[in-house]
Chains A and B, each alone.
Chain A
Amino acid sequence: MATLKVGLVSPEREIWSGEAKMVVAQTIEGSLGILPGHAPVLGVLLDGSVVKIEPADGGEAVIAMVGSGFFSVAANEVAILAEQAELSHEVAVEDARQALENALAAGDDATAERRARARLRAAGVEA
């Protein structure tokens, strides 16, 4: 079966790359699942959402929090570009909780709140 060549990159480094069976990303309009053979798409990521990548070797799914960015799909290549991105095991849970509390206390920064929630969700902890 064909696989997807996935690259998850931030401006500072390549966060994850490899072969995958499926990628699920969230756009402003909702979740979008990408399987091999998908038509070329360029989508805007929801700032503060979670991207899920299922590796082709059947390993554990890679879950990452992403901030402002976009993804492009073409010829079975998926590139996810995010200005902020963290893999699930990199998220400092305490730090993210603190960020969420700060965002809730400030009250008017919906993006910061969404980002903090996404970080917690990526880490597998519900806020």
Chain B
Amino acid sequence: MAAQLRQLRQQIKTVKSTAKITRAQEMIATSRIVKAQQAVAASKPYSDQITQALTALVSHHVGIDHPLLHEQPADNRSAVLIITSDRGFCGAYNANVIREAEALIRSLREQGREPVPYVIGNKGITWYRFRNRAIAEAWHGFSDRPDFPNAERIGRRLTEDFLKTDAEGGVGEIHVVYTEFVSMLTQTVRVRRLLPLELHDGHTETVPPAYEFEPSAQAALDLLLPNYVESRIFHMLLQSAASFQASVRRAMKSATDNANELLGVYTRQMNQARQAAITQEISEIVGGADALADSGGE
């Protein structure tokens, strides 16, 4: 009896300290979500402006051309950029991204294309390495707080590979699998085609001004397009980082809730065991006293 009591006390202590840790992690994640959201908001003016400029450029110069806008029917390889996190403790965040990426890879295969994974984040890298799958390129170390030079590096590599042919190890199109931060409670895995670029002509509400170009429209396009691609990647990295923090928060919250529930169960069991021990002790004393009284009465 006493042994059971001691064991339960030990378990309660363990669960309590786990709950403390998960609670702390939950609060850390909550404050980081705010920071991640601020980073998303701070990147918005740049991405809005660059989109606007690009739309203006393309809508006024119909004849304008750039290799990044071309379909490459000759190339059969498709890059799949998978954005996962470096750390775990985030529920199904990485599993969701990888499941979606695998579905995309399967459907690309069915179309007769050869998918080539490019992976960001330790979790994704480990997943692919463990299964001995080839990865074209892996990046890690910045999934919590991505900065622009990271996005620039990734963008450079991807556009380089896009401009190469299959034989040189290049790819014909680039897809990205990332997690969009819809709200604190909802994050959705999205699949987007990054290259070749599709410029929507849907912006009819505002007619872009007729720009003059300095030094030329072509020079402006040569600069704008790679920057635009990098800014898209940066946006996706930031969205994924915010989603990651939200997933951590949710996972840690349910871990804390579970720990508290377990604590209740154990406390009740402990009380019961203690009560049983006391009752037994009393009955033993009473039994002993009775036995003494019986023997003494003779």
Q: Interface-forming stretch among B8-16, B27-35, B49-57, B82-90? A: B49-57
A44 to B224, CA, bound (A): 9
Q: Report B158 CB to chain A, min CB distance, Å.
A: 16
Q: Does A75 contact B (CB under 8 A)?
A: yes
Chain B, Cβ-Cβ closest to A42 = B211
Chain A, Cβ-Cβ closest to B52 = A72
Q: Does B76 contact A (CB under 8 A)?
A: no
A residues 44-75 in Cβ contact with B at 8 Å: 44, 68-70, 72, 74-75
Q: Does A41 contact B (CB under 8 A)?
A: yes
Q: Report A97 CB to chain B, min CB distance, Å.
A: 21
Chain B, Cβ-Cβ closest to A14 = B45
Q: Does A23 contact B (CB under 8 A)?
A: no
* Inter-chain contact total with CB atoms closer than 8 Å: 86
Interface residue from B49, B208, B219 paired with A81 (Cβ < 8 Å): B49
Whether B53 and A42, one on each chain, are in contact in the complex, defined by CB atoms closer than 8 angstroms, is: yes
Residues of chain A with a CB closer than 8 A to B244's CB: none
Size bin of chain A's contact surface = 20 to 34
Q: Interface residues of B: mostly helix, strand, loop or mixed?
A: helix
Residues of chain B with a CB closer than 8 A to A40's CB: 209-212
Residues of chain A with a CB closer than 8 A to B50's CB: 81
Q: Interface residues of A: mostly helix, strand, loop or mixed?
A: strand
**Which residue, of B43, B45, B47, B227, has the highest number of chain A Cβ atoms within 10 A?**
B45
Contact with B along A74-91 (1 / 0, CB 8 A): 110001010100000000
**Which residue, of A27, A32, A39, A81, has the highest number of chain B Cβ atoms within 10 A?**
A81
Contact with A along B211-243 (1 / 0, CB 8 A): 111110001100110010011001000000000
A10 to B52, CA, bound (A): 15
Whether A12 and B211, one on each chain, are in contact in the complex, defined by CB atoms closer than 8 angstroms, is: no
With A10-B46, A11-B231, A44-B220 as known contacts, state yes or no: A29 contacts B151, CB within 8 Å.
no
Whether B234 and A42, one on each chain, are in contact in the complex, defined by CB atoms closer than 8 angstroms, is: no
Q: Does B148 contact A (CB under 8 A)?
A: yes
Residues of chain A with a CB closer than 8 A to B208's CB: 74
Chain A, Cβ-Cβ closest to B39 = A12
Whether A10 and B215, one on each chain, are in contact in the complex, defined by CB atoms closer than 8 angstroms, is: no
Whether B211 and A28, one on each chain, are in contact in the complex, defined by CB atoms closer than 8 angstroms, is: no
Q: Report A30 CB to chain B, min CB distance, Å.
A: 9
Whether B42 and A27, one on each chain, are in contact in the complex, defined by CB atoms closer than 8 angstroms, is: no
Residues of chain B with a CB closer than 8 A to A72's CB: 49, 52-53, 56, 211
Q: Does B152 contact A (CB under 8 A)?
A: yes
Whether B209 and A75, one on each chain, are in contact in the complex, defined by CB atoms closer than 8 angstroms, is: yes
Chain A, Cβ-Cβ closest to B152 = A83
Chain B, Cβ-Cβ closest to A45 = B223
Whether A41 and B212, one on each chain, are in contact in the complex, defined by CB atoms closer than 8 angstroms, is: yes
Residues of chain A with a CB closer than 8 A to B152's CB: 83
Whether B213 and A12, one on each chain, are in contact in the complex, defined by CB atoms closer than 8 angstroms, is: no
Q: Does B147 contact A (CB under 8 A)?
A: yes
| B-binding residues in A (CB < 8 A) | 7, 9-14, 27-29, 32, 39-44, 68-70, 72, 74-75, 79, 81, 83
Closest 8 CB pairs of A and B: A43-B214, A40-B209, A74-B209, A42-B211, A13-B42, A11-B148, A9-B45, A40-B211
Q: Sample 25 A-B pairs with CB under 8 A, ordered by A number.
A: A9-B45, A11-B43, A11-B148, A11-B230, A11-B231, A11-B234, A12-B148, A13-B43, A39-B212, A40-B209, A40-B210, A41-B211, A41-B214, A42-B57, A42-B211, A42-B213, A43-B213, A68-B223, A69-B223, A70-B53, A70-B220, A70-B224, A72-B56, A83-B148, A83-B227
